[in-house]
Amino acid sequence: MKLKVPSTAGTMESNDVLVSIKPAKSGGIQIALQSNVMQQYGRRIREVITETLEELGVENAEVEATDKGALDCTIRARVAAAAYRAAESSDYHWEAKK
């Protein structure tokens, strides 16, 4: 998946995460994370964001995530939505998310 434009997905509501993605030429997946559960889940949130983008074939991106205690499934959904918007793609592959 090739990212073309900056995009966002998600909200600042409790148990949600606001994800902004900017295309990047190099540097891999850079994540700037803010979370109200940083101590307990910061590591896991970064892991889920990276995994989701890698699964979509995104190699370089600048990600800003403001997390309000979202569960893993929510984080995956928001990151994927932001990535598709950044790629200006609607070629969704619907599946039951793990």
Partner 1 sequence: MDLKKIPHIEEIGNRGVCSGKVTKTSATFDERTKGENKIVKDLKTAILASGLKDGMTVSFHHHFRNGDHVLNFVMDTLAEMGFKNLTVAASSLAGVHAPLIQHIKNGVVTHIETSGLRGELAEEISRGLMEFPIVFRSHGGRAAAIESGLLHIDVAFLGAPSCDPYGNANGYSREDDDGIACGSLGYARTDAKYADHVIVLTNHIVPYPNAPFAIPESSVDYVVEVEDIGDPAGIMSGATRYTKNPKELKIAETAANVVEAAGYLYNGFTMQMGSGGASLAVARFLRQKMIDQGIHARFALGGITSQICAMHEEGLIDKILDVQSFDLDAALSLKKNHLHQQIDAVYYASYLHNSAVNKLDFVILSALEIDTDFNVNVLTGSDGVIRGAIGGHPDTAEGASLSVIVAPLCRGRIPCVVDHVQTVITPGAAVDVLVTDQGVAVNPNRPEIAEKLKAAGIRVTTIEKLRDRAYAEVGMPDPIHYTDKIVGVAMYRDNTVIDVIRQIEE
Cβ count within 10 A of residue 93: 7
Between CA 79 and CA 75 the distance in angstroms is 6
Q: Does 97 bind partner 1 (CB under 8 A)?
A: no
| Between 12 and 37, CB nearer to partner 1 | 37
12 is an interface residue for partner 1 by CB under 8 A: no
Applying CB under 8 A, which of residues 2, 4, 44, 97 lies at the interface with partner 1?
A: 44
Question: Does 30 contact partner 1 by CB under 8 A?
Answer: no
- What is the C-alpha to C-alpha distance for residues 90 and 87, in angstroms, rounded to an integer? 9
Three-state DSSP at 91 gives coil
Q: How far is CA 38 from the centre of its chain?
A: 16
Q: What is the DSSP letter of 86?
A: H
Q: Among 25, 26, 39, 91, which residue interacts with partner 1 (rule: CB under 8 A)? A: 39
Using the rule CB under 8 A, is 68 a contact of partner 1? yes
| DSSP state at residue 74 | H
Instruction: Give whichever of 47 and 59 is closer to partner 1, judged by the CB atom.
Output: 47
Enumerate binding residues for partner 1 (CB under 8 A): 14-15, 36-44, 68-72
